[in-house]
Each structure stands twice: as C-alpha cells, then as structure tokens.
Amino acid sequence: MSGVDLASVLLQQNGSGNATGNATNATAGNATNATAGNATNATAGNATNATAGNATNATAAGPTSETPLPDLISGLLGLDGFGIWGDAVAALLGAFLIANVMLTMTAVAGPWAKRKITAAFTDRIAVNRIGPFGLLIIVADAVRLLSKELIVPEGADRPAWDLAPIILPFSALLGFAVIPMGSGIQLADPETGLVFAFAAASIASLGLVMAGYASNNKYSMLGGLRSIAQNLAYEIPLVVTAASVVIFTGTLRMSEIVAVQSQPLIEAGALTIPSWFAFVNPFAFVLFLVANMAEIGRNPFDIPEAPTEIVAGYQTEYSSVYFVLFYLGEFIHIFLGGALMAVLFLGGAAPPVPALGFIPGFVWFVIKIWAFFLFTQWCRSAVPRVRIDQLIEIGWKGMLELAFANLVLTAIIVGVII
C-alpha cells in the first residue's frame, strides 16, 4: 500500500461518492498490508465497540463545530433514520476507515520508509529493485512474513502468548479513536479524550509483559520486565507534562485542546507564530518528546528490545503473523505518539501559517506524525541506547521532577499572571 492509496481513500471519503463501495475497495486494496486480515478486522471491530458509545454520547452533547466522522458517514449513507443501529454501523465504518488508514501508513513506514530513512543516514540506497523506489517491497515483505511458519515455543503459556501480539496493535489503534485528525475526521470526542488516549496507549505494556512472560524464554522475560519498568518510569512524567497543557486549555477534550492552539501567539508583519504549545511552552514540549520516545520504546530508550543485549526482548520467540502484529503494533504506537505530540503541542491538524490553509488539515496531521516518525528513526541512527538502570534513574530522578516543576510553574503562570 502506498501514499497514493491513502490519498484516494481520503478523497473518496470526503467526496460524495458511494462510501460503502469505497470502503470495500480500501479493504481489497489493503490485502497487501492488512497482514492478518483477521486481526485487522478484530482490532477495528473492537475499537468500534469501545468507541461507539462514546461517539454517540459525544455527538449528543458535544459542542464541537465539526461533525464527528461517524455522523458524517451516517449522513452520507442515509443511515440517520435507523436509530441506534444506524449509529452503530456508521461508527463501525468510521473506525474501520481510520484503522485502515493507520495500518496503511504503518505498512509504508515499516518495510519501506524505515529502510529508506536508515539508508539515507548511513549513506546507502536501500530497497530499490521491486517496483518504483522499491515500494513493492511492502508487498513482498508481507508475503514473505506471512508465509513463514508460526513457531510456538515449547512451554509457551498459550492463551497469553497468543493474545499478546493482538493487544499491542489494538491498544495503539484504540488511541486513535479520540484523536482529531483534521478535516473533521475524528471518531469520537469525549470530554475525557486525553485521558482515554493515554489509557489506551498504556494497555500496550500489558501486551509486552504477557509476551515476555508467556514466551518461556529468558530474554523475553528480561524484555518484558524491562518494558514494564520503563513504562512505569515514563508514563507519569508523560501524563504530568500533558497535564501542564491541560492547565492552559482547561479541558481534556481533544478538539478543544486543538482549538485553543489556533490563535496566533505572535504576529510580526507577515510572520505569524501560532500559539501551539510547542512555542508557548517549549520546555514541556521537549520533556514530552523525551518521555514519549521512552513510552514508545525507541532509541535511545529501545531497551525492552535492545537487540544487541537481549536479542529481541519480548518478541524473541514470535514469528510469522504474530511477529507482523508486533511490528505493526510498534509502528502504530510511534504514530500514536506522533499524533499525541501533534494534538497537544503542534496545533493538531492546523497549518503552521494560515496562508497554507488551503492544504487539507488531514494532510498536515499526517505530515506532523511522519515528522515524529522521522525523528525516531534519526535518533535510532545517531543516539546510543541508555542502560536500563540509567533509564530508570533518568525517569524517576530527572524527568519526574522536571515534569512536576513544569506543572507547578505552568499552574503559577496560568493562575497568577493570566
């Protein structure tokens, strides 16, 4: 799957064509990257179940100006008259679309973009022999990975071992339910959107621990334990830093957080700097960026995997479909991390200068999360991995204090000065 597909899906979705037909097309087209077709469906379905209720509630009471995606779909398909069932179908379709967009981006990022980016940093060319720019390597890789034997280690703790690779991508996809992606694309906009996103993202740790414990492998075990220690150490600074944004906005609702950032911060002639929180509070931005890198387990904090130390950590024993699911999960997590960065600090789907407003918001949103992805890959090429004890130390003795200091300072500034 490529960016072209992604764009076409979007265009079709925004246009007034036959939405159902388009959705089908998207699915068919996705066969290449959908990896475990089952898993995708299951994930999408789950996401919908979890969010459908929220979605309806939110639309009922929501003061938002933009129509949430399910309502849009419902309107397009004429499902308005079917009551709760109509809403459910519309929400399901919406979730399906979002999940597919994310999976498509993951498919581009995982087998292709990652290689190309790493190659650029290391003076190489990387995949260029299959298809234009080597893009068809995505297809080849999917076929290769899916056709491999699924090896189940002796003594694996079966239900947990099987569930772990499903939980990881699922939890990340779930987080996207509340992310406003611009151009009115948002599945649900509950009042507790921010908390929901963090809560959903942290489910991933459960998956990692399950994988580590159930694999019956010492390296996996170490990886699982490392991941839980790391997540404990970084979740708190992450949330506390996000809380400093909430102090500014006074709401947890994602759409409002974005809306607050749309005012210009400084206007100097033609140059307008929007009041993105990255500019309002760059300290919190850096703090959040670092904590986010640890949260998603990328360099310099990729210690749960740490290939040169503990082989591949929690995913050592996974092969074939399950490996693909882990792989997908990790990349969706990077994108979810990027999405949170975008919403909290980079003005969501807003263009950096109003003059560029003609480009759809969704494109800006995608650019922002890809920028974050690029940053993670850059770090991977240039920044050494810290040791587990140093990481915990940085987390508890450094980041946590800084996060709280930032919170207090922000509270003082907001409470006293403004």
Partner 1 sequence: MIGILKGMATTLKHALDGETFTVEYPDVAPEVSPRFRGVHKFSQERCIWCRQCENVCPNDTIQIVTDSSRNGEQYNLHIGQCIYCRLCEEVCPVDAILLTQNFEFTADTKDEFVYNKEQLKNVPWYKDIDPLNSRNPDRGAWIGEGEGEVDYQ
Partner 2 sequence: MSLEDPEKEQQGALEGRSREDELADLLGERALSRDDHKNAPAFVIRPDEVQDVLFDLRDQAGYDFLSCVTAQEYEDRYESIYHLKRYDNPMDEVSVVVPTSKQNPVSQTAEPVYKTADWHEREAYDLVGIDYEGHPDLRRILLPETWQGHPLSLDYDQDRPQIVTLREHANPLEEDQRASGTGANAHSNTVESGAVDDAADSDTMYLNIGPHHPATHGVLHLKTILDGEQVVDVEPDIGYLHRCEEQMAQQGTYRYQIIPYSDRWDYTANMPNEWAVARAIEDLADLEVPEYAQVLRTMATEFGRMLGHFLAVGTFALDVYGDFTAIFMYAIRDREKVQNILEDLTGQRMMFYYFRLGGVVWDLPEPREEWFEKVRDFLDELPSALEEYHDLISQNEILQLRTVGKGMLPKETAKQYGATGPVARASGIDMDLRRDDPYGYYDELDWDVAVEDGCDNYSRLLVRLREVEESAKIIRQCIDLLEDWPEEERTIQSNVPRTIRPDDDTETYKAVEAAKGEMGVYIRSDGTDTPARFKIRAGCFNNLHTLAPMSNGEYIPDLVAALGSLDIVLGSVDR
Check binding of 306 to partner 2 (CB under 8 A). Answer: yes
Does residue 121 bind partner 2 (CB under 8 A)? yes
Q: Which does 144 bind (CB under 5 to 8 A by kind): partner 2, partner 1, none?
A: none
The one of partner 2, partner 1, none whose footprint includes residue 386, by CB under 5 to 8 A per kind, is partner 2
Asked if residue 25 lies in contact with residue 131, where contact means CB atoms within 8 angstroms, the answer is no
Which phi and psi angles does 265 have, rounded to 5°?
A: -85, -55
Among the listed ranges 74-82, 133-141, 146-154, 295-303, the one in contact with partner 2 (CB under 8 A) is 295-303
The interface mask with partner 1, positions 327-366, x = CB under 8 A, is ----------------------------------------
Q: Contacting partner 1 (CB under 8 A), which of 11, 15, 18, 124?
A: 124
Alpha carbons 232 and 151: distance in angstroms, whole number: 31
Q: Cα 73 from chain centroid?
A: 23
Residue nearer to partner 2 on the CB measure, 90 or 117: 117
333 binds partner 2 (CB under 8 A): no
Strands 271-274 and 264-268: antiparallel
Q: Is residue 122 a contact point for partner 1 (CB under 8 A)?
A: yes
Closest CA to 96 of 187, 4, 212, 211: 187
Q: Are 72 and 184 in contact (CB under 8 A)?
A: yes
Can residue 118 be called a binding residue for partner 2 (CB under 8 A)?
yes
- At its nearest, how many Å lie between partner 2 and the CB of residue 299? 6
Rounded-to-integer distance, Cα 153 and Cα 291, Å: 34
Looking at residue 365, its amino acid is: F
Interaction partner, residue 397 (partner 1, partner 2, none; CB < 5-8 Å by kind): none
Question: CB under 5 to 8 A by kind: which of partner 1, partner 2, none does 125 bind?
Answer: partner 1
Q: Which partner, partner 1, partner 2, none, binds residue 306 by CB below 5 to 8 Å per kind? A: partner 2
> If you ran DSSP here, which 8-state letter would residue 151 be given?
P
Residue 144 binding partner 1, by CB under 8 A: no
Distance CA 323, CA 100 (A): 19
Burial of 9 per CB tally in 10 Å (0-12, 13-18, 19+): buried
Among 15, 307, 354, 357, binds partner 2 (CB under 8 A): 307
- Which residue in 386, 405, 409, 413 binds partner 2 (CB under 8 A)? 386
383 contacts partner 1 (rule: CB under 8 A): yes
Quote the distance between the C-alpha of residue 196 and its chain's center.
13
According to CB under 8 A, which one of 157, 162, 191, 309 is a site residue for partner 2? 309
> Contact region for partner 1 (CB under 8 A) — 116-124, 257-265, 310-318, 389-397?
116-124
Q: Does 334 bind partner 2 (CB under 8 A)?
A: no
Are the C-beta atoms of residues 169 and 291 closer than 8 Å to each other? no
Structure tokens belonging to residue 335: 């994108």
Q: Does 386 bind partner 1 (CB under 8 A)?
A: no
Which ranges constitute the DSSP H helices of 176-316? Answer: 193-214, 218-249, 254-260, 277-280, 282-295, 307-310
DSSP 364-409: HHHHHHHHHHHHHHHHHHH-PPPPHHHHHHIIIIIIHHHHHHHHHH
* CA 34 to centroid of chain Cα atoms: 17
Does the protein bind partner 2 through residue 21 (CB under 8 A)?
no
Q: Of the ranges 163-171, 200-208, 318-326, 385-393, which one interacts with partner 2 (CB under 8 A)? A: 385-393
Phi first, then psi: give them for residue 37, nearest 5 degrees: -55, -40
Using CB under 8 A, which of 155, 381, 397, 408 touches partner 2? 381
Can residue 384 be called a binding residue for partner 2 (CB under 8 A)? yes
Binding region for partner 2 (CB under 8 A): 118, 121-124, 218-219, 222, 299-300, 302-303, 306-311, 380-390
Binding region for partner 1 (CB under 8 A): 117, 119-125, 378-379, 381-383
